[in-house]
Amino acid sequence: MVFVLLFSSAVFSNGAVPGWAVDAGLKFVQNPDDVFYNFHLDNVDYTPVNSDRRTTLRTNFLSSLIPFTWGNLSLKTRVISNRQFNSWVPQIDIVGNYSRIIALDVASLVVESEDFSPPTMSDYSVGFLMSKPVSRLTRLYAGFQYSVVSLDFEFPEPLEITSETNISKLQIARRDYILITGIVNKVREDKRVAAYMGYGFVYKKIFSRFSWHYDHLEMGFNIYPEGLLVIHPFLGWHWNF
């Protein structure tokens, strides 16, 4: 939200920032990498493929596509089934995510000012998840992912947040190795409850999500204890194949 405000102010207006956002803007300036990284983590799918399906395609649309125009797609596919070779073998899924901020791509195409440098962005995540049923309705899982967000964006004019603080460019670069442990419980035929906790080794980052999954819709909360916004409610949509 802070970024959209700053970005739209810089590109589409005269650079003025509403007073209520100054405080949030100052906090954003302190650590923009973390703010972007948290929204990136919102988009990543950290739950295993349902044991009776092969592949899942997922997109997070709130709060990413709406309101940030942050389009994203996660793909996960089961490569080894539970007990496939031996009773101890867990289900193993390969997972990946790719995202783009569409507004930045559109701005690169539309804005023709000499002062405007097209932004560059990279946002993806790859890894694997292992899951094991512990009862008829409950599965435990763990996984590992390599997660990257980088963004290089220069504002056409420095954006003044206070008389002493302004932003002229955003250079986001964060890569982390994420360990995930979680649980999925089938509450009804068409409803699952899931929770996990993640830890990033490079930035010593703790984060978490608990969510409700229906046939296609999923909703819940992402929690970033050290984030600018500690709780990110989310809505997502998935297709199981």
Q: Return residues touching another protein (CB under 8 A).
A: 27, 30, 88, 132, 134-135, 137-138, 140, 142, 181-183, 185-187, 193, 195-197, 199, 204, 206, 208, 210, 223, 225-231
> Tokens 């100054």 identify what position?
22
User: Which of left, alpha, beta for 83 (phi over 0: left; psi -120 to 50: alpha)?
Assistant: left
65 or 92: whose CB is closer to another protein? 92
Q: Are 19 and 110 within 8 A, CB to CB?
A: no
Q: Are 203 and 180 within 8 A, CB to CB?
A: no
State how far the Cα of 155 lies from the Cα of 210, in Å rounded to an integer: 36
> Tokens 């989310």 identify what position?
234
35 or 103: whose CB is closer to another protein? 35
7 or 196: whose CB is closer to another protein? 196
Q: Are 183 and 210 within 8 A, CB to CB?
A: no
Give the contacts of 141 (CB within 8 A, at least 6 positions apart). 47, 48, 129, 130, 131, 132, 180, 181, 182, 183, 184, 196
CB of residue 165 vs another protein: minimum separation in angstroms? 13
50 or 72: whose CB is closer to another protein? 50
CB of residue 230 vs another protein: minimum separation in angstroms? 5
CB of residue 183 vs another protein: minimum separation in angstroms? 5
CB of residue 127 vs another protein: minimum separation in angstroms? 17
119 or 200: whose CB is closer to another protein? 200
CB of residue 119 vs another protein: minimum separation in angstroms? 26
Helix, strand or coil for residue 24?
helix
